[in-house]
Amino acid sequence: MLHMKANIVSLSNANMSGNQVFPGKAGAIGPRARDLTQAEHEHTEVLLSLFEKHLVGTRANGKKTVQLALGALRGFLKYVGLPPWEWLEDDVSDFLAHKVKEADIGLGRQSTYLTYLRSFQNYILDSRGLTNEIHRKFGVQPQRFVTNENAIPIKRKRHQRKKVITPLSAVQCQKLIEQFDIEIRQAKLSGSKAYNTLRRDKVMSMVTLLTGVRVEELVNLKINYFQPDLKYPNFGNYALLTVVGKGRKTRVVRLYNPLIKPLMDWYLDEVRPSFLSKKTEDPDRLFLSERGGEICTEQVRRMLQSIASNAGIPFRVSPHLLRHTYATQMANVIGPEALQQQLGHEHLSTTLGTYYHQNPEQVGNQVQQGIENFTKAIDSMTEGLIDDNHDQ
């Protein structure tokens, strides 16, 4: 609970007498929509502004997440035509029914709306200062509008319909890498500008398979995020990888396959220099675009899908699928808690429910045993992954 004084929002001025009418009902189609007073409108805007600061500061959410949250709130506000302290459970149910009927949104989108509405609700209700100010100015005590009654059924349906993700097999991983090599050789023979781009993209895919990082984390890696571990000299300078994940939380990922050393040495010496330019603002960034800048995540997604399609893999291959493949390989090698840390999951239940099938003989393996087991497990996946023949 936050201190009352720190959360009181004072809106007392000549423009907020409550007598002026703000056309809040314009465009609103909710069954309870009405015109808002100027005071109600401006107080609503203050609450949204404070919530935005809360997401950026306290919650450390990224720009995209904040935009999605505010977009969801304003979409609901536009529909319901009421200030937040008058929102009710039925308003949420009506809104979701409307979105399903008019826009055919699925359970994922419905759940997204509920997530951000609940977050906004909790932000207000957890602050005694905000709730007291609303009651003082408008004579209303804010109530919960996202509850088990309107949220749990959607969660249950989503869980029941949750799509099972099948990881890449060792053969499919090999086909993916072999397709990179085929296209790299073709690009070199034809003198194509895609030559170095394909070599970079191959390394990006390999790093994802060897570390399980998210695509957003991958494109923001820095060279100095890799660190050595003197206990494992065969990993060179690449035994540990610092990753800045969701919510700007930092974790350290341990590498379990010594292949990372020749892969990164080759990339940093032979490939990456061709992407550096006078326009490069961040020369420490590990993976650079053709113009020496940041690579967008959508570019990585399109690249993987194209390579996978050319390789004859009969389903969509995404960066998340590579992460899923890594996690599936590692699940019974290092145990659930270590895998949770490697993946950056906030809750162990996420790791257990998705990747981990308990094998008592392997729970609690030490790092060295994990390295040995994992190396053996992916020998067939990594054989020939670095092929310098086409670089001679």
Per-residue pLDDT of the chain (392 residues; tens, 9 = 90+): 333 333 333 333 333 333 444 444 557 888 999 999 999 999 999 999 999 999 998 888 888 899 999 999 999 999 999 999 999 988 988 898 888 888 887 777 888 888 899 999 999 999 989 999 999 999 998 988 887 665 554 455 545 555 667 888 888 999 999 999 999 999 999 999 999 999 999 999 999 999 999 999 999 999 999 999 999 999 999 999 999 887 778 999 999 999 999 999 999 999 999 999 888 889 999 999 998 999 988 899 999 999 999 999 999 999 999 998 888 888 877 877 888 888 887 766 666 666 554 443 443 343 445 445 555 555 545 555 555 454 44
What DSSP assignment string belongs to 208-257?
HHHH---HHHHTT-BGGGEE--TT-GGGTT-SEEEEE-GGG-EEEEEP--
* The pLDDT of residue 4: 32
Asked if 21 and 34 count as a contact pair (C-beta separation under 8 A), the reply is: no
Rg (CA), the chain: 26
List, for residues 159-199, the tens digit of each pLDDT value. Answer: 555 566 788 888 899 999 999 999 999 999 999 999 999 99
| Closest by Cα among 278, 238, 244, 231 to 261 | 238
Asked if 235 and 255 count as a contact pair (C-beta separation under 8 A), the reply is: yes
Does the predicted model carry a pTM greater than 0.75? no
Where do you find CATH 1.10.443.10 in the chain? 170-391
* Tokens found for residue 290: 């053709």
Q: Measure the CA angle with vertex 205, ends 332 and 177; round to 5°.
A: 95
List, for residues 217-249, the tens digit of each pLDDT value. Answer: 999 999 999 999 999 999 999 999 999 887 778
CATH topology of domain 170-391: hpI Integrase; Chain A (1.10.443)
Sign of the CA dihedral with 95 first, then 134, 126, and 66 last: positive
Q: Map tokens 């977050």 to a residue.
A: 119
Q: Which residues contact 283 (CB under 8 A, 6 or more apart)?
A: 276
Asked if 131 and 141 count as a contact pair (C-beta separation under 8 A), the reply is: yes
Tell me the C-alpha distance between 350 and 337, whole Å: 11
* The pLDDT of residue 62: 86
* Tokens found for residue 165: 């993700």
